[in-house]
Chains A and B, each alone.
Chain A
Amino acid sequence: MTTRAQFLDRIRAEMGKTRGSFPSRVSERPARPVEAADIIRRQLAERWPDTLERFRTEFERVGGVFHRVATASDIPRAVGAIARERDARDLVAWHAAGIGADVEAGLVSEGLAVRAVSLGATDAERRELRAASATAALGLTGVDLAIAEMGTMVLRSGAGRPRSTSLLPPCHVAVFDPSVLVESLEQAGVFLEAWHAEGGDWGAMINFITGPSRTADIELTLTRGVHGPKEVHAVFVEGGLRG
């Protein structure tokens, strides 16, 4: 078996023979990404309605369904309406910390059977979550970034934030507020740099989600919901989440 040292040595040997004839340039990265992200956030705070409008247009273009509510206490009613339209009852939800609001009681009073994810992680819980996620009709998550340019939502995995909540149920509902809106993929790049620079572990998985799952593999006919959700809803909370 080839070892790391042998493998890299061979690469170095070949690099030594090159003449480096093509133009090359590394990207200019933000020197202080955490501060750069803060600056972007502050600038965008003043003009979020424009960013939101762009997000909405692009999100709908890729087949997403947009909703808007005034405060976090309106979330259960919006989710309840989505569920009733689909005759759906079973819902898996991220932990309140991941969504940015505690909506469990509200969802229950909307008549939904809610499996809210805990922050702990025992084997029994793992099995139970797998079974619940595989059969749930709805998955409710928070959003870490909403990119207006392409109608994309970025979700980080972690404690209380299972990866499959936005994947296994046929309908994914994501809740977000003005604080996570960015204009462009380039700005999202600054946030990715910032999350990394903040140190510590930034999660085992990050997903960029741009509309419902799709394929065109049979005669180029666009079909939704091949493996992931057939429907993706974004619920915008104007008054903000997380307190």
Chain B
Amino acid sequence: MSEPELATPFRERTGRALGDRFLQQALDIATTKFIVLRREAFENLPEGDRLRDRAREIKEATLQQLDRHLDRLIDEIERRGGHVHFATTAEEARAIVLGIARRTGARTAVKAKSMATEEIHLNEALEAAGVAPIETDLGEYIIQLAHERPSHIIAPAIHKTRGQVAELFARELRRPGLSDDPEILTRVAREELREKFLAADLGITGANFAVAETGSVVLVTNEGNGRMSTSLPRVHIAVMGVEKVIPSMTDLVVFLAILARSATGQRLSVYTTLVQGPKRAAELEGPDEFHLVLLDNGRIPQIAGPLREALSCLRCGACLNVCPVYRQIGGHAYGYTYPGPIGILLTAMLNGPTSVKDLAHASSLCGACADACPVRIDIPRMLVTLRKEVNEQRIAPWTERVAFTILGKVLTRPALYRLARSFGRIAQRPFARDGAIRRVPLAFGEWTRSRDLPAVAPRTFQEQWAELERERAR
């Protein structure tokens, strides 16, 4: 299955985003608000830094014994009457879910917001198999009605105005003359989706964590759609990347303390739901069947790969909000399921380094993402690694490869560097103005299409420094 955005080249996608004045404003308001809320939340948590360190160390320790923890998780879930499935690829994951849907005769599925099911393009597959998938997170519901894709990990519809949502609901839900008051729009969505929840055959969710020792799948939501999807339909299927497992309940509370703070600035999201298998015999409610689909889809090779650190990601979205590139272009321009700085790494993990030949450069490497990350993932370091990999695999344009190979040689040899400096001063004469070269000639012109190249200074820092040294010696 393909990503529809990719039909347009990256440069055009970003150009479109930059030209969209509403999007620019919406992104600015949303990301700024999330940044402020997150900062306030951590200011009120003196032990925040310690908890972030602990969270990262727990993730790392879990990875070092991932087989053991998964083994335990599987045993505990099966002991409680649940089923665990194993998907090496997205295709296999889809086939597993479709198999369950077919066997249980399901016609409708309510879905709680889940990046993992977006990643495997489950909705298209369900529709093709005659099962209607209904997104129930309000933001996801809006974009599903609009046939669009999420633009932010935790606020999927930030690119839409209330007026657009009102028009959409009026048209798609046949409610003409609907007010654009978010309160009223939310009530309409509640009514529409309440019926769907009560009638649905399947509840499909992702998982924020799974606790190995207790066999718990943990969902964090604010709206309650995660609870609905796991309480009302007769079958619950959770799709989860293998890296989401953590050892114990003591570990879980460490993550809960930082997850919501990083995502929305809340101390805790409204609902944290721990699911331990299907309904018990003495219970009046809950699914008769519980299935967990453990997803590899490019994750397992990274246990020993260059993107290992990205396996600690909690999907909180904090790195998106602080990224100067995301703040300008928004989620759609990235073209894949996961946007933002971490999204570039996850895209490379899922689709290989070729998929990020442009995206690997969609970062200023300023480091704001690494600062904001609740588990301190060094995103810039891995972006540089990816750029190197993209270059080595010869997927970058030849001009770029030649230019950087030459630059690499020049910068590491002082004599050559001095020679190039003198040569540059002469060669740049026809092009340099006010200390900048606005257009590099020939095939290298791509470099200056959206930026200036600094000209060689009349007197460089090194030359000034040498002069000062000589003066001091006198």
Contact = CB atoms under 8 A, between A and B. Distances in A.
Interface of A: 1-4, 6-8, 10-12, 14-18, 20, 22-30, 58, 62, 117, 119-121, 125-126, 129-130, 134, 149-150, 152, 157-159, 162-164, 167, 185-186, 188-190, 192-193, 196, 201-221, 223, 225-229
A120 B87 CA distance: 38
A35 to B, nearest CB: 15
Contacts of A24: 57-58, 60-61, 63-64
A149 B85 CA distance: 38
Interface stretch (B275-283, B402-410, B432-440): B275-283
A25 B227 contact: no
A27 B247 contact: yes
Interface centre among A209, A213, A229 (most CB of B within 10 A): A213
Contact of B223 (A120, A207, A227): A227
Interface centre among A7, A15, A62, A225 (most CB of B within 10 A): A7
A217 B286 contact: no
B385 to A, nearest CB: 14
A65 B301 CA distance: 50
A218 B300 contact: no
Interface centre among A208, A212, A219 (most CB of B within 10 A): A219
A223 B61 contact: no
Contacts of A14: 300-301, 303-304
B162 A219 contact: yes
Interface of B: 26, 29-30, 33, 54, 56-58, 60-64, 66-67, 70-71, 74, 80, 84-88, 92, 95-96, 136-139, 142, 155-158, 160-162, 165, 182-183, 185-186, 189-190, 193-194, 197-198, 213-214, 216, 222-225, 227-228, 230-232, 242, 247-254, 256-257, 264, 266-286, 294, 296, 300-301, 303-304, 308-309
Contacts of B64: 15, 18, 20, 24
B271 A209 contact: yes
Contacts of A117: 284
Contacts of A226: 138, 186, 189-190, 223-225
A215 B113 CA distance: 13
A213 B88 contact: no
Given A204-B278, A213-B224, A223-B183, A218 B270 contact: no
Give the 10 A-B residue pairs with the shortest CB-CB distance, closest first. Answer: A228-B224, A217-B139, A189-B253, A17-B304, A159-B282, A24-B60, A208-B272, A24-B61, A227-B224, A192-B249
Contact of B280 (A8, A201, A208): A201
A20 to B, nearest CB: 6
Given A185-B257, A204-B80, 9 more contacts: A14-B300, A27-B251, A27-B254, A149-B267, A186-B257, A204-B276, A210-B267, A220-B155, A226-B138
B268 A210 contact: yes
B271 A208 contact: yes
A56 to B, nearest CB: 15
A164 B158 contact: no
B87 A2 contact: yes
B270 A228 contact: yes
A62 B260 CA distance: 13
A188 B156 CA distance: 32
10 contacts: A8-B71, A14-B303, A149-B267, A163-B286, A189-B249, A190-B250, A211-B270, A213-B270, A223-B182, A228-B270
Given A121-B284, A209-B271, A220-B33, A167 B190 contact: no
B282 A158 contact: yes
Nearest to B143: A217
A2 B56 CA distance: 30
A53 B88 CA distance: 51
Contacts of B269: 210
A209 B309 CA distance: 32
B52 to A, nearest CB: 13
A207 B272 contact: yes
B138 A217 contact: yes
A202 B138 CA distance: 32
Contacts of B228: 167, 227-228
A217 B157 CA distance: 6
A27 B58 contact: yes
A227 B136 contact: yes
Contact of A22 (B26, B60, B190, B256): B60
Given A2-B88, A223-B186, A205 B74 contact: no
A164 B285 CA distance: 8
A147 B29 CA distance: 33
Given A29-B248, A204-B275, A215-B186, A18 B256 contact: no
A119 B282 contact: yes
A181 to B, nearest CB: 16
Interface centre among A129, A186, A192 (most CB of B within 10 A): A192
A203 B276 contact: yes
A219 B185 CA distance: 12
Contacts of B222: 213-215
B164 to A, nearest CB: 10
Contacts of A10: 88, 296, 300
Contacts of B142: 217-218
Nearest to A29: B250
B42 to A, nearest CB: 14
Nearest to B112: A227
